[in-house]
Structure 1
Amino acid sequence: MEAADEESPLLSHPCLRPQPQDEYSRYTSDGTVDVNRQPALKHSTGNWRACFFILGAEFSECLCFAAVAKNLVTYLTSHHGAPREQRRRREERLHLGRQLLPHADTRLLQCSSLSTSFISETFSLTMCQGMFIMTSSPALPWLLPRSSDESGGVHRAAVYLGLYLVALGTGGIKPCATALGADQFDGADPAERVAKGSFFNWYYFSINIGSLLSATLLVWVQDNIGWTVGYAIPTVLIGFGLAVFVSGGKIYRHKPLGVGGSPLTRVCQVVVAAARNCRLELPDDTSALHENGMAQHTRQFRFFDKAAIVLVSSEKKGPWRLCTVSQVEELKMLLRMSPVWASMLVFFAVTAQMSTTLIELGMTMDNRVGGFVVPPASLSTFDLVSVLIWVPLYDAVLVPLARRVTGEHRGFTQLQRIGVGLALSAAAMAYAASVETRRLASASSMSIMWLAPCYFVLGAAEVFTSIGMLEFFYDQSPVSMKSLGTALAHLAVAGGSYLNSALLGTVASATGWISDNLDQGHLDNFFWFMAALSMLNLLQFVYCSIRYKS
């Protein structure tokens, strides 16, 4: 029996074997390994020393993507003085290009069983290729014969291919960078567990720094110097970011790859196996289920336990007919998080107003502030500045204060943090509604700066909800599905954007609140509607949070 125990794969990691305290402390306690697939040493791998490489790469990725996205409308509609019909077609490609990001995230789910660092390197290279094409595309009309019909087609194909590769690259990098960064901290170590919570804050801080620089400096370069230079700068930066990321490979900690293939495949196997066994009766003794004892069995969503029913048969059962209890519990963990994911859709539909209805509202207001003219699109700067203020304030002030009151090492639990952000988003919509009501009743034009507090509050809401969401989906996902969990979190952003489009279209056609001339509509009623929807969403979230079992 002792020999069998020594050979057990569960005891293969040094931290899981009885050892002297000094030997134990040399290794991480969560089973992570180094680049050579050996147990990770605490003193030479992971922690902030590794995260600096990851955050640097993520900063360059976000700056690169924002450099394309922030000024994409101008590039596609006015580049080389395109005629009206050509502009219309380019606007159609713009709309399609914006939809590529969520599709890129879904592709990531298919390969999330691979090493997160390997995926990040692969998609970083993909993004470099896309940016190189985007940098070269402005010169194509000058290199190709202008009279040739093929020149326009080649130019359009190059722009479309570049956009697709950039969107695919950023959709692959973000979820894996989040998961890989969090993997650098040992969850069993109290000090590193606290640092892991800070990582999510500074991860969000770094991507917003990149977005701010793109929205200001790079957009100015594109408009005043040229598109080639405006795209070349982020292309060089993403290449440098890839080099920095690869150079840190020796100190990264990695979660061992799970057996059984892709996590998404494992989940689908449980669903298919349970459906095939739907007419079978579950045994009274759950220990009779296939390979029970490897995971803590729960009685919630009992239907899926049928996937682990063992039949007395000489026929060998495949993974699509018989699953382990561990597989079943992985699916249950994801299902328990689904109400939280649904709440995120409404939240991101609210934040999507910053690039839709609030911009339209700003176009009807007086944008002169002193001797300056504030473009409505520049209002997003207040959101970015708010994030950059609130992240260090939250990490350095709010967390220590809350920790003294709650005793929670994070200060707030993840669900509490998300709830605060949901409440702030409802307050922001109520404020926007009151501003629009006052504008419609006012005889004189209102200053565009009345919208700045709305953006500032929504920025604070992002710090609470968006970062809390990333941390929640990482922590609560099964061990073998961390990258899939963070991918689902990023996918909620895309889902919220789609929901916002659906709400705008439905409300505009059913009520007339949203019209081409806002003075003749009632955009304030739409904002009140979004505030009410946000409050209902908050109540639903609170109810689900109380019932949620970690």
Structure 2
Amino acid sequence: MPSMELQPSLDRETGMSRSRGKRGGWITFPFIAATLTGLMLAGWGWLTNLIVYLIKEFNVKSIDATQITNIVSGGINLLPIISAILTDSFLGSFYVVAISSCFSLLGVVLLTLTASNSSLRPPPCETASSLCQAPSRVQFSVLYAAIALASIGLGAMKFTLATMGANQFDTPQYQGFFFNWFFFILYGACVVSTIGIVYVEDSISWVLGFGLCSAAGFVGLAIFLLGTRFYRHDKPQGSPYTGLAHVLVSAIRKRNIPLSSKTEDYCHGIDGTNMILAATPSQSLRFLNRASLKTEGGIQSNGSITKPLRLSGTVVVVVLISTCISLLIFDRFLLPTWQKFTNRVLTPLQWTGLGHVFNVLSMAISALMESRRLKIAHAKHLQQQPGAIVPMSVLWLFTQLVIVGIGETFHFPGQVDLYYQEYPVALRSTPAAMISVVIGTAYYVSTALVGLIRNVTGWLPDNINEGRLDNLYWTLVVLGSLNFSFYLLCSSLYRYRNVENKVDNSVRGATGETETGQEA
């Protein structure tokens, strides 16, 4: 039987350890959900429409505006790894979320000032004139300061809040439920922001749109602070990254010492409150086992700002809504039904694998749809008319966008759940940040890939009706299939450390068995 230290007595309705007090559990969920909603309404509201704001209000050239937006988006998705280090090593998740939310609010308020104060913007371009006055250094400085503050706040807050929410529960089962609802709320807030706030910015005024973002951010921060007395506050565990460096250095120093198969020959870190669960030497990366040996003395690119940009904003909503609906259906209906009849649950690796399948499928459908579009364009000789629009309904994009949303239903929650369960306790904020780092890296890798294909092939000319965009999609299908094959290989070799507990707990919950009353 599991020991009492690893399997404490639990409250089935809250998923909390009775020995850890009354803080945490589902009572914190409304506060975290409201916080996430407010802060994502604010963040997504300015980020989604940034390229339009730069072009319309700051007279930035379309290509430059696109580059600025890509850099900002990539930076926002790379920042969480820094916030994870600060969370795990120094501040804890509560203070990182609170501070980053203040940064976000300050940045959005500053953006609102640039929209409301004409002295902080260049004069508008004259009608029917291609001559536009560029922003002054002061105007650019204020704009970039606003974007930087808002970006730092959004990037540092989003996934740190996910980790903080999961830390409110003791059982992996409830943590998995939380991650599903977290992503549902995140995507739902993005849908509302895209449909509502972006519409206000485009059709009414930028001041009102950014003002709504500021109000949403303020309400989110206020609700977050109101829930302070209910949260379980995680304490920083020191600097685990320094510890990782020590492990590598120690392993190199002890490279000539033969490995032992005896547990007592290795050090196991116990500091009185936390135990590093490494009962036996790992068989993977065995070289690093030497570090714990006991030794003497050891230690959108064309820039159009009218209907095409608005259509792009509308199409994105299909993915967001698809993800929200899919999360709801799978979490509330399909998965419980599967669990009831099979007495098994899908592991995080299986969740992520299904996400890979749907991603490749969406690219294949995109390739087929683009092939159809090109046939129509060639049949009507539109390739000889630069900028000509193919008479084809946008609803043809619906299928692949829905499948992309379903793929995200499996991909992101599955990865976050896997990392959260398998990472050491001292690195609990890093797993959620890793997903964002992958997204941020993808912004730059995809740009490089498209640039390479554009330079090497003739698939992507300025006139898309003369190109072969479908070949680009087929290339992504091949690369995605190779990536999925590599994923299957890695998955087959991977051995879970902690996820088995989640499977056991979930099965017990499905069969009505209680988790309480276990004895050592």
| TM-score normalised over the length of structure 2 | 0.81
Q: CA deviation at 1:139?
A: 3.4
Whole-angstrom CA distance in 1 between matches of 2:12 and 2:363: 51
Matched, 1:247 2:226: yes
1:286 and 1:292 in contact (8 A); partners too: no
Query: What is the one-letter code of the residue matched to 2:289?
Result: D
Distance change in 2, residues 1:523/1:290 (3 Å): same
**Match among 84, 109, 113 for residue 109 of structure 1:** 84
1:62 and 1:211 in contact (8 A); partners too: yes
Q: Give the equivalent residue in structure 2 for 1:40.
A: 20
Q: CA deviation at 1:40?
A: 3.0
1:28 and 1:40 in contact (8 A); partners too: no
Q: Give the equivalent residue in structure 2 for 1:384.
A: 320
2:60 and 2:134 in contact (8 A); partners too: no
Matched, 1:237 2:216: yes
1:473 and 1:489 in contact (8 A); partners too: no
Aligned residues: 463
Q: Give the equivalent residue in structure 1 for 2:102.
A: 125
1:28 and 1:186 in contact (8 A); partners too: no
Q: Give the equivalent residue in structure 1 for 2:50.
A: 72
Q: Give the equivalent residue in structure 2 for 1:167.
A: 151
Query: What is the one-letter code of the residue matched to 1:299?
Result: Q
Whole-angstrom CA distance in 1 between matches of 2:108 and 2:229: 27
Q: Give the equivalent residue in structure 2 for 1:199.
A: 178
Whole-angstrom CA distance in 2 between matches of 1:422 and 1:309: 39
Whole-angstrom CA distance in 2 between matches of 1:143 and 1:436: 43
Q: Give the equivalent residue in structure 2 for 1:339.
A: none
Q: CA deviation at 1:533?
A: 1.5
Q: CA deviation at 1:279?
A: 4.2
Q: Give the equivalent residue in structure 2 for 1:347.
A: none
Query: What is the one-letter code of the residue matched to 2:422?
Result: Q
Q: Give the equivalent residue in structure 1 for 2:472.
A: 526
Matched, 1:457 2:437: no
Query: What is the one-letter code of the residue matched to 2:188?
Result: I
Give CA-to-partner distance per residue, 1:268-326, whole Å, 9 cap, x none.
2222332343344434645223347963222221111222234324xxx6xxxx2xxxx
Q: Give the equivalent residue in structure 2 for 1:342.
A: none
Q: CA deviation at 1:94?
A: 3.4
Q: Give the equivalent residue in structure 2 for 1:439.
A: 373
Moved more, 419-428 or 222-231: 222-231
Whole-angstrom CA distance in 2 between matches of 1:500 and 1:225: 34
Q: CA deviation at 1:96?
A: 3.1
Percent same amino acid at aligned positions? Answer: 25
Instruction: Give the 3-state SS of the residue equivalent to 1:453 in structure 2.
Output: helix
RMSD between aligned residues: 3.3
Which runs of structure 2 are paired with 1:539-550 in the superposition (5 Å)? 539-550=485-496
Distance change in 2, residues 1:461/1:93 (3 Å): closer
1:77 and 1:91 in contact (8 A); partners too: no
2:74 and 2:444 in contact (8 A); partners too: no
Moved more, 425-434 or 55-64: 55-64
Q: Give the equivalent residue in structure 2 for 1:510.
A: 456
- With CA pairs under 8 Å and 6+ residues apart, which has the higher RCO, 1 or 2? 2
Query: What is the one-letter code of the residue matched to 2:71?
Result: L
Matched, 1:475 2:421: yes
Give CA-to-partner distance per residue, 1:132-151, whole Å, 9 cap, x none.
111112234337998xx998
Query: What is the one-letter code of the residue matched to 1:161?
Result: A
1:507 and 1:513 in contact (8 A); partners too: yes
Instruction: Give the 3-state SS of the residue equivalent to 1:269 in structure 2.
Output: helix
Q: Give the equivalent residue in structure 2 for 1:218.
A: 197
2:17 and 2:170 in contact (8 A); partners too: no
Whole-angstrom CA distance in 2 between matches of 1:491 and 1:25: 35
**Match among 167, 170, 176 for residue 183 of structure 1:** 167
Whole-angstrom CA distance in 2 between matches of 1:228 and 1:387: 31
Matched, 1:396 2:375: no
Q: Give the equivalent residue in structure 1 for 2:252.
A: 275
Give CA-to-partner distance per residue, 1:365-424, whole Å, 9 cap, x none.
x99xxxxx972342111111211211111111111121024323xx32111111111111
Which runs of structure 2 are paired with 1:6-21 in the superposition (5 Å)? 16=5
Distance change in 2, residues 1:476/1:519 (3 Å): same
Whole-angstrom CA distance in 1 between matches of 2:154 and 2:113: 20
Whole-angstrom CA distance in 1 between matches of 2:158 and 2:468: 38
Q: CA deviation at 1:28?
A: 9.0
**Match among 51, 57, 65 for residue 35 of structure 2:** 57
Whole-angstrom CA distance in 2 between matches of 1:99 and 1:257: 27
Distance change in 2, residues 1:406/1:537 (3 Å): farther
2:36 and 2:186 in contact (8 A); partners too: yes
Instruction: Give the 3-state SS of the residue equivalent to 2:459 in structure 1.
Output: coil
1:432 and 1:527 in contact (8 A); partners too: yes
Query: What is the one-letter code of the residue matched to 1:431?
Result: I
Q: CA deviation at 1:26?
A: 11
Whole-angstrom CA distance in 1 between matches of 2:82 and 2:323: 29
Q: Give the equivalent residue in structure 2 for 1:307.
A: 291
Q: CA deviation at 1:219?
A: 1.1
Distance change in 2, residues 1:539/1:79 (3 Å): same
Whole-angstrom CA distance in 1 between matches of 2:460 and 2:429: 39
Q: Give the equivalent residue in structure 1 for 2:509.
A: none
Q: CA deviation at 1:177?
A: 0.9
Give CA-to-partner distance per residue, 1:415-463, whole Å, 9 cap, x none.
1111111111111111111111111122253222111111111001111
Which runs of structure 2 are paired with 1:418-433 in the superposition (5 Å)? 418-433=352-367
Whole-angstrom CA distance in 1 between matches of 2:120 and 2:188: 36
Whole-angstrom CA distance in 2 between matches of 1:265 and 1:496: 28
Whole-angstrom CA distance in 2 between matches of 1:167 and 1:74: 17
Distance change in 2, residues 1:262/1:467 (3 Å): same
Give CA-to-partner distance per residue, 1:31-83, whole Å, 9 cap, x none.
79xxxxxx532xx4322210111111111121111111111111011106x27
Whole-angstrom CA distance in 1 between matches of 2:159 and 2:486: 26
Query: What is the one-letter code of the residue matched to 1:235?
Result: S
Gaps of 5+ in 1: 1-10, 33-38, 188-192, 323-354, 368-372
2:16 and 2:170 in contact (8 A); partners too: yes
1:76 and 1:94 in contact (8 A); partners too: no
